[in-house]
A and B are shown apart, each in its own frame.
Chain A
Amino acid sequence: MLLTWFLLVAIMITAYVVLDGFDLGAGILHLFIARTDEERRTMIRTIGPVWDGNEVWLLAGGGTLYFAFPLLYASGFSGFYLPLMIVLWLLIFRGIGVELRMHLDTPVWRGLFDGSFGLASLLLAIFYGAALGNVLRGVPIGKDGYFFLPLWTNWRVGPQPGILDWYTVLSGAVALFALGLHGAYYVALKTSGEINARAKRAARTLWPVIVALTGASLAATLYIRPDLLDNYKRWPVLYIIPAVVAGSLFSMWRASSRGQERGAFLSSCVYLIFMLVGAAAGVYPNLLTSTTDPTRNITVYNAHTGSYALSVGLIWWSLGMAIAVGYFVFVYRMFRGKVTAAGHGYGSYSGSGRNRQG
């Protein structure tokens, strides 16, 4: 039961990263590869009808965490208070950036919201990466199960670290480039013409970077937390995970060099999924590790909700998620294919890049 809920939370967070990941990636890239207003608009229209639904995975994932592992939710969210608040503010800037740019047709207005969308996406990617880095590194959990991390201390990985140290900054960089690449493959898949070509060029530039960063972050993780290999040693079948990560990197390169847009994007999805699965497999059954005293670790065993709630939860949760996945399949099918020239594609919901016939 506890492993099931651990997996469900992990699935929701992974789904969020894969789905909103390409929204953020498109946001980051649009700072660099879209030059004209039309091109920016095309890029935003690739995510217009789906970004909000993708973001719901974050809410549903956070809620599921609250429900299934209240101690982790309480301790983690209050301990990461400052970066979480910054993430919330950035999500606001990202949301209005996507949705409001089309309301006025003036360079300043559009520049403002394009900047808001792009910079917020960029910073969000870094913060998410740093957050994952913090979970992997561990935090100084107190006797009462709580902690509070400052944004930075001395930038070293020690018993009293800050949110940002060299390791979490590296994690942030991995996330930034991984989501940028993910977004590049997505934009290439959903567009044609000049933007498509530039997205592919960006992907070719980013690919070697992500290969290098993946290796560096793996080495750094094992350097600061060698015990993350314990589960792997106990169940060697888990070594398939890093193999899949390596395979997905290779298949990204292969698919993109053969011009297979869908294959490259799906490989990138597999890459993100297995990076997260690999991390989850390393930390289980810990949810948050204490840097000061291992008896203070927050684990699935000491953080969970009562068993009645969890078993009934399995029923309604599965039902609700089955319906939600149905919506996603339906919506993605409705808006499948490439975004085309103005007025013949689709747009974002409070903006006006929409295709209507009187």
Chain B
Amino acid sequence: MDDALMMHRLQFAFTVTFHYLFPQLTMGLAPLIVILKTMYLRTNNPLYNRAARFWAKVFGISFLMGVVTGIPMEFQFGTNWAQFSRLTGGVIGQPLVMEGVFSFFLESAFLGLFLFGEERLSKIAHWWTAFAVFAGSWLSGFFIIMTDAWMQHPVAFQLGANGSFQVTSFWGLLLNPWGLIQYSHNMCGALITGTFVMSAVGAYYLLEDKFVEEGRAFLRIGVIVGIIACCIQIFPTGDLHGKMMGKYQPVTVAAMEGLFKTESGAPMVILGQPDAESEKIDNPLVANKVLSYLLYGTTTATVKGLNEFPKNDWPTNIPLVFYTYHIMVGLGTIFVAVMAVSAFLLWRGLLYKSRWMLWIILCCLPFPHIANTAGWITAETGRQPWIVYGLMRTAAGYSKDVHAGNSLFTLIGFMGLYTILAILFLFLVYRVIAHGPVEETAAEIESGTPITAA
């Protein structure tokens, strides 16, 4: 791989991976905040409004980080991937503009009202601002995933003059079946992040024995929504996603599973280290015939291995695809177990007293972020060596006039800047959590620094 291609890929990978840490939290928290506001409307219990405000603060910080790291994403299509942009603008330009026009304006308009308009608005109107922020963030996810889905599974296009891609059906592009499955899987993943963060903060408060009422509410809502999301994540969304990949990207599936040779009754490798040079898995731990069953519904089905495909169509980094896929699936399975046990204890009325379970929930805090990130790395490195699957190679997509040195220069810049953002984010969210979901007094509002008053 030549240097410039590597640098451009690294920069995009780094900036998008970092960026998506924040939207997954905001998209996960947004519906939970709507639930809290709904419960406030129904019960009139100020606890829920306090809780909604508390999460709105976390949401606000995460949203800001998402905004400032998101703008570079849209520009990097042109700056670093000029050849790709030039040929695909006629197709994926459309969902990209729609994201700005239909969702960013919506989000930015109502977030201000949601965060500051509470006393200018009626209770119902304020609920609607929360709902609009939720709708905006989920719409934005929709459009950007439709953009990615077209790169994964190009539909509704024809080749125009000079090799460019031109859209032929507005709805065909927006309702790309690949994208719909990917979207449901991804949003469910975001919801898992939101519910685990909410549950973990609830567990933290119970373990610290402060804000007990609020902590219980966080746990209750987090666990109930969380168990639903964790199950849907595996079935049907994850299952459908896997089957779809088996059909359209069999070579990627072979890499994900570390299946070098075609087999009928193929085993699922649970652990191991793929050696792409000698085409085998070291230290394999396998479950016989499971892969055939998962992909095709029978234990005898033949699953194509990497050997069926020309080597230059193999994903460029097979071990990475293999590991990230296994991390995602492994963590997803653990999440179901954690949420199932928590939900059972909640149902039996034991959760708030089961300190061991609260510790487990607390320690799960970072893992949904890791699982979501791993899933995206699987999808995007699994798509390689294509930038538009089967049609345009990644090596043909980058900006030829931007040499490796320039790209490394800006990559280093982003790394430095994003390190600062990460520190600020953790510091500020820690302060919000340490301060807790307290009622803000008039004096604190006057001083303008309610968060610092703790």
Taking beta carbons and an 8 Å cutoff, which residues of A are in contact with B? 41, 48-50, 52-53, 55-56, 58-60, 62-64, 66-71, 73-82, 84-85, 88-89, 91-92, 95-96, 99-100, 102-105, 142, 144-148, 305-306, 308-309, 312-313, 316-317, 320-321, 323-324, 327-328, 330-331, 334-335, 342-343, 346-347, 349-350, 352-358
Contacts and interface: CB of A to CB of B under 8 A. Distances in A.
A99 B64 CA distance: 8
B124 interface: no
A334 B113 contact: yes
Given A50-B112, A316-B170, A356-B119, A146 B401 contact: yes
Nearest to A58: B71
Interface residues of B, number: 80
Contacts of A316: 98, 101, 170
B240 interface: no
B64 A352 contact: no
A92 B421 contact: yes
A346 B100 contact: no
A231 to B, nearest CB: 26
A96 B424 contact: yes
A148 B407 CA distance: 13
Contact of A67 (B68, B96, B117, B449): B96
B368 to A, nearest CB: 22
Contact of A305 (B90, B106, B421): B90
Nearest to A341: B446
A60 B94 contact: no
Nearest to A335: B112
A96 B449 CA distance: 17
A356 B447 CA distance: 12
Contacts of B119: 355-357
Contacts, number: 261
Contacts of A60: 97, 100-101, 104-105
Contacts of B451: 103, 352
Contacts of A70: 85-90, 93, 164
Contacts of A324: 101, 105-106
Contacts of A74: 78, 82-83, 85-86, 89, 399
Nearest to A315: B170
A64 B97 CA distance: 6
A59 B103 CA distance: 12
A324 B106 CA distance: 7
B440 interface: yes
A346, A350, A353, A354: residue with the most chain B Cβ atoms closer than 10 Å: A350
Contacts of B57: 350
Contacts of B69: 92
B452 A88 contact: no
B116 interface: yes
B108 A334 contact: no
B80 interface: yes
B79 A85 contact: yes
Nearest to B15: A88
Contacts of A354: 115-116, 445, 448
Given A147-B401, A349-B116, A82 B85 contact: no
A96 to B, nearest CB: 6
Given A53-B108, A67-B94, A328-B105, 17 more contacts: A48-B112, A59-B71, A59-B74, A68-B93, A73-B77, A77-B77, A88-B75, A92-B69, A103-B431, A305-B89, A306-B90, A313-B97, A327-B110, A346-B116, A350-B64, A354-B115, A356-B440
B67 interface: yes
Contacts of A99: 60, 64
Given A50-B112, A84-B75, A305-B166, A96 B68 contact: yes
Interface in B408-447: 409-410, 413, 417, 421, 424, 428, 431, 439-442, 445-447
Contacts of A147: 401
A52 B111 contact: yes
Contact of A352 (B83, B104, B167, B450): B450
Contacts of A58: 71
B118 A78 contact: no
B167 A309 contact: yes
A70 B82 CA distance: 9
Contacts of B439: 358
A66 B97 contact: yes
Contact of A320 (B71, B80, B101): B101
A89 B71 CA distance: 10
Contacts of A352: 448-451
Contacts of A63: 74, 93, 96-97, 99-101
B68 A95 contact: yes
B101 A317 contact: yes
A63 B448 CA distance: 37
Interface of B: 57, 60-61, 63-64, 67-69, 71-72, 74-75, 77-80, 82-83, 85-91, 93-94, 96-102, 104-106, 108-113, 115-120, 160, 164, 166-168, 170, 399-402, 406, 409-410, 413, 417, 421, 424, 428, 431, 439-442, 445-452
A187 B358 CA distance: 50
Given A66-B89, A70-B88, A77-B82, A88 B72 contact: yes
A52 B112 contact: yes
B452 A76 contact: no
B97 A79 contact: no
Contacts of A104: 449, 452
A67 B108 contact: no
5 contacts: A80-B79, A81-B79, A91-B71, A147-B401, A354-B445
A53 B103 CA distance: 11
A41 B448 contact: yes
A100 B428 contact: yes
A122 to B, nearest CB: 18
Contacts of A305: 89-90, 93, 166
B448 A312 contact: no
Nearest to B108: A53
Given A74-B82, A85-B413, A323-B102, A79 B117 contact: no
A313 B450 CA distance: 46
Contact of B449 (A80, A102, A308): A102
A317 to B, nearest CB: 7
Contacts of A91: 68, 71
Contacts of B400: 144, 146
Chain B CB within 10 Å, residue with most, of A68, A74, A100:
A74
Contact of B112 (A53, A56, A75, A105): A53
A263 to B, nearest CB: 27
Contact of A353 (B85, B168, B448): B448
A55 to B, nearest CB: 8
B207 to A, nearest CB: 26
Nearest to B57: A350
A59 B100 contact: yes
A78 B79 contact: yes
B115, B168, B440, B442: most-surrounded residue (chain A CB, <10 A): B115
Nearest to B70: A59
A96 B142 CA distance: 26
Nearest to B407: A81
A67 B97 CA distance: 7
A56 to B, nearest CB: 4
